[in-house]
Structure 1
Amino acid sequence: MTDAEDRLAVAERAASAGSRVAAESYGRGIDVETKSGKTDVVTEADRRTQRRVIEVIREEHPDDAIVGEEEDELKTVPDEGDAWVIDPIDGTNNYVRNIPIWTTSVAAVRDGEPLAAVNDCPALDTTFVAGPDGARRDGEPVSVSDRSDPETFAVAPTIWWGFDRRDEYAAVLSALVERFGDVRRYGSAQVTLGMVAAGSLEAAVSTVDPNPWDTVAGVHMVRRAGGTVTDLDGDRWRHDSEGIVASNGEAHDELLAALRDAA
């Protein structure tokens, strides 16, 4: 087993173990707390899930850095060395509303670049995986959509805009509606990126600077499925980039132009 294969296996075990913890409280009226704003919510299930994910990783890689959304883990991805990027429940707003679009996300990273990634979505009974052999959904190989006509594209705005940036969100929506066939928003960036990788969506975009736990795993999936992911300037996306534009690569320039027009 290669190192990348080993890390993918660990990511799969960790995401599966964590998602089982999250699923135990799903739909059970768990208490909800807020963090930076009224729509930035967290539950004890988030914290328990992250702890379980870390426990599994530490069994095999006790010295690696951990980047996690909750508690006192790192909040930025190291540019050197091995690290793991965790979102215990990506889509907590969906989770607390009993909407099944949420996931436990785990990515293995080396020197700032992902090696393996898993988004385990128990309420959807779906798992997205990216590793040395490409991208898979529920064990089956997937690839990005082959649509090339923007007027047939389904584009998802993702990474939510705060109350002080809703005019910007409205401008992005307007620019997308004018150029592309359909616009949809799912409330989980990682699940949305998995859908791009699997060809269900043509693109996912945001002008908001994303957190690594919301994006790193899904970005790796899109790329391993043959897609393109850049920042708002069209440069190759990385964990500290400005905004995100993930697509099947067929009309990426049109997506960039739409976001520039919305600025």
Structure 2
Amino acid sequence: MDDLTHRSEVAERAARAGGDLALDRFRTDIPVETKDGKTDVVTQADRDAQSHVIEVIREEFPDDTIVGEEDGVEPSSTDHASGQSPRAEEALKEVPEEGPAWVIDPIDGTANYVRGIPIWATSVAAVIDGEPVAATNAMPALEDCYVADGEETRLNGEAISVSERGDPKTCMVSPTLWWDFEQRGEFAAAVRAIIERFGDMRRFGCAQGTLNMIADGGLDGAMSDVRPNPWDTVAGIHLVRKAGGRATDLEGERWRHDSEGLVVSNGTVHEAVLEAIRAVRR
């Protein structure tokens, strides 16, 4: 097995394992905490799922860098050689420019998760020298698993592709990511820019889930002028690209993990989505 195939298989195994753990606690009376604001919520399921994902990765790639949303997650198993639990692992918050790394979001869409809404994902991307090479977004509450290797994107084992819609009036576009309360004017402008240019609009509260839907053709585009976190985007961007779609920054340049803003589409209507987000900036 070559290295990239190995990484793809581990990404899928890790995402499924973390997603299954989160699913076991979904729609239970789990305590909810807040981080940086009243809508920025987290649960112990987030931390435990990230820990479980890391454990799966560490079994195969013990020295790789981990980039993840949650801080100081406790390992969920014991080091059997020593009989002691290994120390908590601090995940980085930025993707390194060199070397192998893994980008993890244990529950993308925690606000949905804690309300019992099934649109949330456990996301794992393998990255080398800053570029994703494999990704899995597991959505266990929907019984869906999106996987991209170096060749294609698959949904539950079947190859998928972005939509072929070219008329903006037939397209459905999402104002993805999250505008904070002090940015609600921009959020309102993004909604207006979409409804003035496209056939319909959706917002799902799960960035990776939104990118999944572009990859499988359900959505035709998504946009935000907010700088995204890598755990919210890197895996889904790889899924979209391997399904034939396009992802850029606000200037139309190829999107990277450190880009400002995010514009994603089926490729055919990309210029229309770019114009919509530029209208927000104006």
| Fold in common (TM above 0.5) | yes
Residues 184-226 of structure 1: CA deviation (Å, up to 9, x unaligned) = 0001000110110011100111111100000000000000000
Are residue 201 (structure 1) and residue 219 (structure 2) matched? Answer: yes
- Residue by residue over 1:102-143, the C-alpha shift from the partner in whole angstroms, topping out at 9 and shown as x without a partner, is 010000000000000000111000001110230001100000
Partner of 2:87: none
1:63 pairs with 2:81? no
Amino acid at match of 2:231: W
| Counterpart in the other structure of 1:96 | 114
Correspondence 1:212 to 2:230: yes
Query: In the TM superposition, what is the alpha-carbon distance from 1:9 to its structure 2 partner?
Result: 0.4
Task: Letter of the 1:190 partner, please give it.
Answer: Q
The 5-angstrom pairing of residues 145-164 of structure 1 reads: 145-164=163-182
What letter matches 2:95 in structure 1?
V
Q: Which aligned pairs between 1:106-185 and structure 2 lie closer than 5 A? A: 106-185=124-203
Please give the alpha-carbon distance, in whole angstroms, between the structure 1 residues aligned to 2:276 and 2:12.
36
Q: Give the distance between the partners of 1:256 and 1:228, measured in 2 at CA.
A: 11
Q: Over the residues paired in the alignment, what is the CA RMSD in angstroms?
A: 0.6
SS of 1:47's partner is helix
Match of 2:35 in 1: 35
Q: Which residue of 2 aligns with 1:24?
A: 24
SS, match of residue 39 in structure 1: coil
2:249 corresponds to 1:231 = yes
The percent of aligned pairs where both chains have the same amino acid is: 61
Q: State the shift of 1:261 in Å.
A: 1.2
Q: Which sections of structure 1, spanning at least 5 residues, go unmatched?
A: none
SS of equivalent residue, structure 1 residue 98: coil
Conserved 8 A contact 2:222-2:273: no
| CA-CA distance at 1:58 after TM superposition | 0.2
The whole-number CA distance in structure 1 between the counterparts of 2:277 and 2:24 is 40
Distance 2:17 2:126 in 1: 16
Match of 2:78 in 1: none
Gaps of 5+ in 2: 72-89
Looking at structure 2, the residues matched to 106 and 261 of structure 1 have their Cα atoms a distance apart, in angstroms, of 33
Q: 1-side partners of 2:55 and 2:234: how far apart?
A: 20
Offset, 1:230 = 0.1
Question: Is this contact kept in 1: 2:20–2:140, CA < 8 A?
Answer: yes
The residue that corresponds to 1:47 in the other structure is: 47
The 10-residue stretch of structure 1 (249-258 or 74-83) with the greater mean CA deviation from structure 2: 249-258
The residue type equivalent to 2:30 in the other structure is I
AA matched with 2:27 = G
Amino acid aligned to 1:171? A
Q: Deviations over 1:202-259 (max 9, x none)?
A: 0111111100000000000000000000001100000000010110011111111111
Verify the 8 A CA contact 2:68 2:91 in the aligned structure 1: yes
Aligned partner of 2:185: which letter?
D
Counterpart-to-counterpart distance in 1, 2:236 and 2:98? 21
Instruction: State the distance in 2 between where 1:227 and 1:2 align.
Output: 26
SS in 2 for 1:74: coil
SS at match of 2:233: helix
Equivalent-residue separation in structure 2 for 1:231 and 1:111 (angstroms): 19
Structure 1 residue 173 displacement after superposition: 0.6
Larger Rg: 2
Q: How many residue pairs get matched?
A: 263
Question: Structure 1 residue aligned with 2:264, among 227, 242, 246?
Answer: 246
* SS of equivalent residue, structure 1 residue 114: strand
CA positional deviation for 1:262? 1.4
CA distance in 1, matches of 2:104, 2:159: 23
Write the distance in 1 (CA, Å) between the matches of 2:144 and 2:237.
18
